[in-house]
Amino acid sequence: MAKLETNLIHEGEHFNPTRSVVTPIFQSATYHAGNDPEAYITAATSPKYPEFYHRHGNPTNSQIAAILAKLEKTEDALVFATGMAAISTSILSIVKPGDHIVTQHSLYSGTSLFFKEFLIPFGVQVTQVEQTDNEAFRAAIQEHTKLIYIETPSNPNLALTDLAYIGALGKEKGILTVVDNTFASPINQTPADFGVDIIVHSATKYLGGHSDLTAGVVCADTKWIETIWRRSIILGASLSPFDSWLLLRGLKTLSLRVQQINRNAQQLAEWLEKQPAIAKVNYIGLPSHPQHSLAQRQLRGFTGMISIEVKGQDEENAFQNAQKLINALQLFANAASLGGVESLIVHPASMWGSHHSDDQKKASGITKGMLRISVGIEHITDLIADFEQATQNL
Ligand SMILES: *Cc1c(COP(=O)(O)O)cnc(C)c1O
């Protein structure tokens, strides 16, 4: 069986029906049916058929799905226009009103809003627990629990959920488990190894890797992918041909990018931990991270995501220092998103200020002096030098 780096280049090549070495952009909404009525029926009714109508499928989307299924060690995969489309369509394919979901407090803000503003008014019950407490997940299970939904590492405090525990708990209770694997990427973590059933990604982040597209992916067995596909053609968030082509291009260098990002982040985190202006560094690759040994058990690399707490005499002063630091950095752009080749930094308390209550921020570990860093592939010497000059005047 081919190795991961080879799969990134060659898997699903058969979905390119042309002689072009690079899979073309299939910029077409629809495809000729030919003269065979049987073949037309097959095209119209087969899940993910790549040459019928764009909302049903597209050759580049099929090639990406083949690659992602290999990376995540699932039977199949399906691509979407955004990560939120992958998440919402998948969950809506699993639960109905009256069902119960167990999830964690710390979730991507869009996912949190989907639970709060959509699923709960829709009649689905949701219990949120502390993700680092395995027993809390077990205790929250009810008779009508349909789904355990987790995210690890989570955003922005970089806490981990124990994948082996959740995978086994789901199997024991006959409850479906879904994990958002965006922060780790399949290079660093494959939740299927731990018995998790369904893996979702915002492909906007590491998978695309160049901050030039939005996309989402869900990886699961064939049965679930077909079920989710049937919902997806109704909800309609299909990935456009050009974004699909960009995603396929980005995927080719996924392993190279993530390895360089892992190395850069480790060095930057170790450096930051020694700086007097920084009160705390959250990085799962540091022995000081409270879940470092769990990180070593379930991840092969420790990602490019670091969060730090800037020092201050009080919360307000820490807030001002955090703002000052962001403004003084030259290489780290103050921008949302993550996982691209360029380093980014955000102030979570400002970014999510509007749709998180103070209690929610606390439960997600968001403090006023916290900054979240997405380390890119620039040279580490320059990244450290940038922090060095920016922290000088704090
Ligand atoms: C960005 C992100 C999402 C949402 O993805 P979009 O592509 O922006 O819709 C979901 N989960 C995590 C962890 C993310 O970082």
> How confident is the model at residue 77, as a pLDDT?
98
Contact of 216 with 203, CB cutoff 8 Å: yes
Cα gap 341→352, rounded to integer Å: 24
Distance in Å, CA 128 to ligand 1 centroid:
19
Question: How far is residue 279 from each of residues 18, 265, 306, measured CA to CA in Å?
Answer: 56, 18, 13
What token pair was written down for 252? Answer: 């080719």
Total domains present in the chain: 2
3-class DSSP state of 366: coil
180 CB under 6 A from ligand 1? yes
Q: What are phi and psi of 31, to 5 degrees?
A: -135, 145
Chosen domain end from 251, 276, 297: 251
Contact of 307 with 366, CB cutoff 8 Å: no
89 CB under 6 A from ligand 1? no
The whole-angstrom distance between residue 263's C-alpha and the CA centroid of its chain comes to 20
Active-site choice (55, 231, 249, 361): 55
Contact of 161 with 191, CB cutoff 8 Å: no
Q: Which residue has the tokens 């405090």?
A: 157
Same domain assignment for residues 308 and 271: yes
Same domain assignment for residues 240 and 269: no
Query: Residue 369 belongs to a domain with what CATH number?
Result: 3.90.1150.10
Q: Which residue out of 109, 182, 239, 346 has the highest number of ligand 1 atoms within 8 Å of its CB and is therefore the one to mutate?
A: 182
Q: Which residue has the tokens 């199949």?
A: 76
Neighbour tally for 294: CB within 10 Å: 20
Same domain assignment for residues 35 and 145: yes
Same domain assignment for residues 262 and 131: no
Cα gap 160→297, rounded to integer Å: 11
Taking 70 as the pLDDT cut, the residues of the chain under it are: 352-356, 360-364
> How confident is the model at residue 393, as a pLDDT?
82
Same domain assignment for residues 122 and 240: yes
Helix axes 83-94, 222-235, angle to 10 degrees: 110
Question: How far is residue 375 from each of residues 65, 105, 285, 316, 393, measured CA to CA in Å?
Answer: 27, 25, 13, 26, 22
What token pair was written down for 293? Answer: 């040994």
List, in sequence order, every residue forming a beta bridge with 80; answer none if it has no partner.
216
Contact of 103 with 125, CB cutoff 8 Å: no
Same domain assignment for residues 238 and 305: no
Distance in Å, CA 154 to ligand 1 centroid:
11
Query: Residue 113 belongs to a domain with what CATH number?
Result: 3.40.640.10
Distance in Å, CA 394 to ligand 1 centroid:
32
Establish whether 108 is a catalytic residue: yes
Q: Give the model confidence (pLDDT) of 18-39 as tens digits.
A: 999 999 999 999 999 888 889 8
82 CB under 6 A from ligand 1? yes
Residue of 361, 324, 329 lying closest to 345 (CA atoms): 329
Nearest atom of ligand 1 to the alpha carbon of 84? 9
Q: Which residue has the tokens 């403090």?
A: 367
Contact of 162 with 298, CB cutoff 8 Å: yes
What token pair was written down for 132? Answer: 């680092």
Same domain assignment for residues 22 and 60: yes
Cα gap 343→125, rounded to integer Å: 38
pTM as predicted: 0.96
Same domain assignment for residues 237 and 292: no
Cα gap 136→309, rounded to integer Å: 27
3-class DSSP state of 209: coil
> How confident is the model at residue 285, as a pLDDT?
98
Active-site choice (180, 197, 243, 386): 180
Same domain assignment for residues 229 and 307: no
Chosen domain end from 206, 227, 251: 251
Same domain assignment for residues 240 and 276: no
> How confident is the model at residue 155, as a pLDDT?
86
Distance in Å, CA 20 to ligand 1 centroid:
32
Same domain assignment for residues 201 and 292: no
> How confident is the model at residue 157, as a pLDDT?
84
Establish whether 212 is a catalytic residue: no
Establish whether 55 is a catalytic residue: yes
Same domain assignment for residues 268 and 223: no
Q: What DSSP letter does each residue of 182-239 carry, written as one string?
A: TTTHHHH--GGGGT--EEEEETTTTTT-SSS---EEEEE-HHHHHHHHHHHHHH--PP
Chosen domain end from 189, 217, 251: 251
Minimal-distance CA residue to ligand 1 atom 4: 83
Which structural domain range is residue 125 located in?
Answer: 4-251
211 CB under 6 A from ligand 1? no
> How confident is the model at residue 327, as a pLDDT?
95
Establish whether 249 is a catalytic residue: no
Distance in Å, CA 136 to ligand 1 centroid:
25
What token pair was written down for 264? Answer: 């850069």
Integer distance in angstroms from the first to the last C-alpha of the chain?
53
